[in-house]
Chain A
Amino acid sequence: MTDWTTLDRDLEDVLVGLTKRFAMAMVLIFALFPIYWMFVVSMRPREEAVSTNPNLLLDSLYLENYVLMWQRFPLVDYFINSLIIALTTTALALFIASLAAYSFTRFSFPGKATFGGAILGTQMIPGVLILLPMYLLFVNVQTNVGLPMTNTYHGVIFVYTTFAIPFAIWMLRGYFANIPASLEDAARVDGCTRFQALIRIVLPLAAPGIAATGMFVFLTAFNEVLFASVLASSDVTPFAIGIQRFETQTQTYWGQMMAASTVATIPLVVIFILFQKPIVDGLTSGSVKQ
């Protein structure tokens, strides 16, 4: 009798194990196929990239796409613009949000709840609501102060940094809260000012959380298209807008578009795999405990 139930248990365990593996495999195929397919098409000449009977396997290594894609329009400028914009945004947003998040976790002050509500409130603002006012504001600054704002790096960076700050504060707050305040007290006994304690004690300890937040900010800035389409054209056109130009009125250069996509994706994937431990730890450790 007991033997039968243990056998049942074992059989159940095996079946559950197999089902789990099968499910995991399906999830991984779903998650990875588009990325794989991007690479496969980037390696195909044009007539095969749009074939009605495509091969699922990587069957050609046609590298010409990676050469030709630069010649159609200033793709290299788009890449550089995006890097300048996204990297500066990340650095500025992390710095400003760290100060605010620190203030938020360590002090209580009048208006704290209001500020917290405002942070959450920004997550509900539809971009189209503030798009035209932002454009008008930029034009106003331009005509009245003489400082050009539309189609400039600093204009776009200013807007993107501010967009990133509320969510960055929300993420960083969780990590800072996990760092015991006694460590700072000890540092201050040794003669550090509060600011030095923040820079030397809190920020290094929160490094994984800052890395995760930084990844988030970078991706947000790199992917933004709504404000970019209105505030950042001509010389500062970012990659997110520029890459769509592979799709012309008459035809789409899918092979070259996928080659450009692969070039944009690989550095991010490599950085993520190298630093996945701090990024994943950081992504989860702060917010789970909220």
Chain B
Amino acid sequence: MDSDTTMRARTRVFVRRITDRVSEDEKTRYAYKLLLPAAVMMAIVHFLPILWGALISIMQIDAVYVSQWYNAPFIGLENYGQLFDFDTTVGSRFWFSMRQTAIFALGTVLGSYSLGLLTAILLDSEFRGSGVARILVLLPWICPAVVVLLVWRMMLLSDTGIINHVLLSAGVISDPLVWLIGPNAIYSMILVNIWINFPWATIMLYAALKSIPDHLYEAARIDGAGRWGQFRYVTLPQLKPISVVISLLLILWSFINFTVPFVLLGQSATRSGEVSMLFIYNYAFQNYAFGLGGAMSVVLFLFAMGIALIYYKYAVSGTFEGEGDD
């Protein structure tokens, strides 16, 4: 038994020595080989089209040139000039759509995160049926988004929708609300996007709650912390790293979300619900203004990158520094 283990250990040392002798070059080559398929596909589908899109944004591609885009004239930054001029129709509408996008993303992240945290805490206090509740809460995330968006569209109809019916019967409102058209459209989108995303936040936060060591709570109790104190000084700091990741992804996913406005609002989206993704799609494809659409897309991309960078600088790096302390 003993000699067997030593033999095995010796073999391992021997093998380690051989592998060390295999040049680092070969390992690197192997690593690249495994990455190659993913890298090539991402180069074709992500990075080449980004450059192409940037190129299109400085060309005048309209209905005439779309079939022969390479013959379209280069017009420099003219498209961008139009965008940054708030007096043009497209300029003012684009920046309005950017404002709606910001509201949509902020509303989604605040709502999904707080509801997710609340639900995770509720699930964490073991009660009868908490196992079943944990599965049921995840169902909105499992259902196909297109399907649930159509269900919400039906529920939010002003004349026959069940939501207005329930609110009217309960006496919360006296007249039917118009949810999908007009100024409320953006709030309907936020509500539905929260419903789609909070289960994911819940399950991530629930797992993080489970991984907080008990002795931290014990120590806090010994120091005299009550329920709130334990939450404030143990739970929240421990949840910070995962919360940073969750909120960043929720912001980015909402920022460039197309499915929610496209399916929920239907073919004729109202101005307040026209977030940038939808506005660019409608504007570029209806007016064959592909150059202008490209310029708007580039601006949207730069905004998304800017958010991620600021986030990374202030939140993510801080988190990782903080992690080293304990």
Contact A30 B195, beta carbon cutoff 8 Å: yes
B28 at interface (Cβ–Cβ under 8 A)? Answer: yes
Instruction: State A189–B8 Cα separation when bound (angstroms).
Output: 9
**Residue A132 contacts which of B152, B263, B284, B301 (CB distance < 8 angstroms)?**
B284
B42: A residues at CB distance < 8 A: 118, 122, 162, 165-166
Contact B154 A41, beta carbon cutoff 8 Å: yes
Q: Give B48-67 interface residues, CB cut-off 8 Å to A.
A: 48-50, 52-53, 56
Contact A134 B49, beta carbon cutoff 8 Å: yes
Instruction: State A285–B49 Cα separation when bound (angstroms).
Output: 34
A272 at interface (Cβ–Cβ under 8 A)? Answer: yes
A127: B residues at CB distance < 8 A: 256, 258, 277
- Stretch of A32-40, A59-67, A68-76 on the interface side: A32-40
Which residue of chain A is the closest to B297 with respect to CB atoms?
A129
Given A123-B249, A125-B50, A284-B204, A100–B148 Cβ distance below 8 Å? no
B153 to chain A, nearest CB (A): 9
B118 at interface (Cβ–Cβ under 8 A)? Answer: yes
A38: B residues at CB distance < 8 A: 147-148, 151
A287 at interface (Cβ–Cβ under 8 A)? Answer: yes
B220 at interface (Cβ–Cβ under 8 A)? Answer: no
Contact B284 A222, beta carbon cutoff 8 Å: no
Contact A110 B281, beta carbon cutoff 8 Å: no
Of listed B154, B259, B294, residue having the most chain A CB within 10 A: B154
A138 to chain B, nearest CB (A): 11
Instruction: State A225–B262 Cα separation when bound (angstroms).
Output: 8
B208 at interface (Cβ–Cβ under 8 A)? Answer: yes
B234 at interface (Cβ–Cβ under 8 A)? Answer: no
Contact A23 B204, beta carbon cutoff 8 Å: no
A290: B residues at CB distance < 8 A: 241-242, 245
Given A126-B256, A185-B15, A280-B203, A37–B155 Cβ distance below 8 Å? yes
Which residue of chain B is the closest to A226 with respect to CB atoms?
B258
Instruction: State A185–B305 Cα separation when bound (angstroms).
Output: 40
Q: Could you give, for residues 182-209 of chain B, a 1 whenever the CB lies within 8 Å of some chain A CB and a 0 otherwise?
A: 0000000000000100010001101110
Contact A136 B52, beta carbon cutoff 8 Å: yes
The 27 sampled A-B contact pairs (Cβ below 8 Å) are A27-B137, A32-B139, A37-B155, A38-B151, A50-B160, A56-B166, A107-B30, A118-B46, A123-B249, A126-B300, A126-B301, A127-B256, A128-B297, A129-B300, A129-B301, A137-B49, A162-B41, A166-B46, A219-B142, A223-B144, A223-B145, A225-B258, A243-B150, A264-B144, A264-B147, A269-B143, A280-B138
6 further A-B contacts with Cβ under 8 Å, apart from A136-B69, A222-B144, A268-B143, are: A30-B195, A31-B136, A34-B155, A50-B160, A115-B39, A283-B204
A-B residue pairs, 10 tightest by C-beta: A284-B207, A129-B297, A130-B49, A133-B52, A103-B34, A133-B49, A107-B31, A162-B45, A124-B304, A100-B38
B-side interface residues toward A, CB under 8 Å?
8, 11-12, 15-16, 27-28, 30-32, 34-35, 37-39, 41-42, 44-50, 52-53, 56, 69, 115, 118-119, 122-123, 125, 127, 133-140, 142-148, 150-152, 154-155, 159-160, 162, 165-166, 195, 199, 203-204, 206-208, 211, 227, 241-242, 245, 249, 252-253, 255-256, 258-259, 262-263, 266, 276-277, 280-281, 284, 290, 293-294, 296-298, 300-301, 304-305, 308
